[in-house]
Structure 1
């Protein structure tokens, strides 16, 4: 019963960290995409 009570907190924490990681990854991909676009426009 104690383990069952502690589980939702753990899953909520892990979901939060996954969301943070996904947001950081999305930001990095967006920055990379913008950088590639700028470089491509510059070399045209």
Structure 2
């Protein structure tokens, strides 16, 4: 049973993938917000 329990404890790879995915999403949202703010300033 210990061999089945060890993979459940090792979340390092999953945590890294989630962190990278979250960083990419936040970066894309930031770029979109910057573009929206830039467009609003140009219209004014």
Query: Is 2:2 the counterpart of 1:12?
Result: no
> What aligned pairs does 1:14-33 form with structure 2 within 5 A after superposition?
14-33=14-33
Structure-1 separation of matches of 2:3 and 2:22: 31
> What aligned pairs does 1:31-42 form with structure 2 within 5 A after superposition?
31-42=31-42
- Unaligned stretches of 5+ residues in structure 1: none
The aligned length equals 43
Q: TM-score, normalised by structure 1?
A: 0.82
* 1:4 to partner: Cα distance: 1.8
